[in-house]
Amino acid sequence: MGCSQSQVCRIAGKREDIRTRYECNKTNPERKRLRSGKAEDVEGALSEWFDSARSRDIPVSGPILAEKAKDLAKHLHKEDFNPTNGWLSRWKERHNIVYKRLHGEKKDADLVAADKWTQTVLPDILKTYEADDIYNADETGLYYRALPDGTLTVKSETVSGSKRRWTG
């Protein structure tokens, strides 16, 4: 195998420690070296926040991660922490996180709620307008506050889009 006897003995002696570290490294098992960043507690808190955000299908970008890291560092009393682009890049690599574009629309419209709205709320709104001032704008939306077209996610996770919605 191209290893010296002392190297084999050293690895055999640390077998349980190596196995434990490998099993704990669920985020990126392909990494050969276990490295941590400059602020392990901030990185751990950011990892938990990221997992929570992605479990709720919230799109996350690099600038959002950097701001959240600053906020978490402040709460952890790490006033000198600065999430540089290099730090963020290495954090994403350590946690096997990549950018993926959201494709398709995942969620269907709530037809029951739409029918209820058109029967109860819409007539009251339309009473205030003349018939000549009412137009049909089906499938039209304002997207200046829309969610991004992509998100950072774990490499093995599949992502899909969602209905675009104006959050006015």
Say whether both 82 and 97 belong to one domain: yes
pLDDT per residue, tens digit, the chain (168 aa), is 788 989 889 888 988 887 776 666 655 566 666 566 677 888 889 989 998 988 888 888 889 999 999 999 999 998 888 889 998 888 888 888 888 877 655 556 678 888 898 899 988 988 898 888 887 765 555 565 566 677 777 776 776 655 544 444
Say whether both 16 and 46 belong to one domain: no
pLDDT of residue 71: 93
| CA distances from residue 121 to 99, 125, 130 in whole angstroms, order as listed | 41, 7, 17
135 Cβ contact partners less than 8 Å away, ≥ 6 residues apart? none
Q: What CATH number does residue 151 fall under?
A: 1.10.10.60
Structure tokens at 63: 């600038």
Say whether both 119 and 66 belong to one domain: yes
Residue 29 lies in domain = 1-34
- Which bin fits 65, alpha (ψ -120 to 50), beta or left (φ > 0)? alpha
| CA 161 – CA 48 distance, rounded (Å) | 23
Say whether both 118 and 163 belong to one domain: yes
- Judged by DSSP in three states, 123 sits in helix
Specify the number of domains making up the chain. 2
pLDDT of residue 166: 45
Say whether both 71 and 107 belong to one domain: yes
Say whether both 58 and 133 belong to one domain: yes
Say whether both 161 and 115 belong to one domain: yes
Helix axes 85-94, 62-75, angle to 10 degrees: 100
Say whether both 59 and 111 belong to one domain: yes
Structure tokens at 89: 């890049």
Say whether both 86 and 21 belong to one domain: no
C-beta separation of 50 from 65 below 8 A: yes
Say whether both 92 and 18 belong to one domain: no
Amino acid 131 reads: A
Say whether both 115 and 91 belong to one domain: yes
pLDDT of residue 69: 92
Structure tokens at 142: 């304002």
- Judged by DSSP in three states, 151 sits in strand
Helix axes 40-55, 85-94, angle to 10 degrees: 70
Say whether both 77 and 21 belong to one domain: no
| CA 45 – CA 68 distance, rounded (Å) | 10
pLDDT of residue 143: 60
Structure tokens at 134: 């009412």
The predicted-structure confidence for 62-109, as pLDDT tens digits, reads as follows 899 999 999 999 999 988 888 899 988 888 888 888 888 776 555 566
The dihedrals phi and psi of 154, each to the nearest 5 degrees, come to: -65, 140
